[in-house]
Homo-oligomer: A and B are copies of this chain.
Amino acid sequence: MKSLHDMPEGPGIARVSLDRLFEVAEVLGAMMQRGVAERGLTTARAGVLWALFHDGPMTQRALAGQLGVTPRNVTGLLDALQADGLVDRAAHPTDRRATLVALTSKGRNVTEALRGGRDELAAVLFGDMPPGRLDAFTAGLETVIERLRAADPSGR
């Protein structure tokens, strides 16, 4: 039977796993940043396009809530995106205080290109992985997500 001193690797392995997780986050973030920069975007602005692409036109207030930033921040991001012709601000049909933000056709094209890049990356990373292993790996990621959210009550 093992004594306590025989298992210093227990916590050690978990620490290595967490380090790898941080490493993935770092390099994935760098790659995403590079991908959006190639199309003249930043991560934050791409996030706006992505939200509009998935959920359709919405008010700046809704956008702020969905992105988890202040309304003031959304104003700045939209100013830049509008100057690039990627989004459009229109009057809200019933509430004259509000603004309805929507993708332009150019904005939609750019966002579809981003989605294409994402799908290519998914194929490169996981395309040749046996389904069983991929499922197990993804389940592990989901467990991590659950526990992180549980450990951080302030996370949305």
**Interface membership of A93, Cβ < 8 A:** no
8 Å CB interface, A131-151 against B: 131, 133-138, 140-142, 144-145, 147-149, 151
**Interface membership of A91, Cβ < 8 A:** no
Interface residue SS majority, chain A = helix
**Interface membership of A154, Cβ < 8 A:** yes
Taking the closest CB of chain B, its distance from the CB of A147, in whole angstroms, is: 5
CA distance A155 to B16 in the complex (A): 21
CA distance A11 to B128 in the complex (A): 10
CA distance A122 to B133 in the complex (A): 22
Chain A's interface size range is 35 or more
Cβ-defined partner of A145 (8 Å) among B27, B126, B134, B140: B27
Taking the closest CB of chain B, its distance from the CB of A35, in whole angstroms, is: 9
- Which of A18-26, A56-64, A97-105 forms part of the interface with chain B? A18-26
Contacts of A119 in B (CB 8 A): 11, 15
Residue positions of A touching B, CB distance < 8 A: 10-11, 13-18, 20-25, 27-32, 34, 118-119, 121-127, 129, 131, 133-138, 140-142, 144-145, 147-149, 151-152, 154-155
- Known contacts A15-B118, A23-B141, A27-B152; 6 additional CB pairs below 8 A are A13-B131, A20-B145, A23-B145, A25-B25, A25-B28, A31-B151
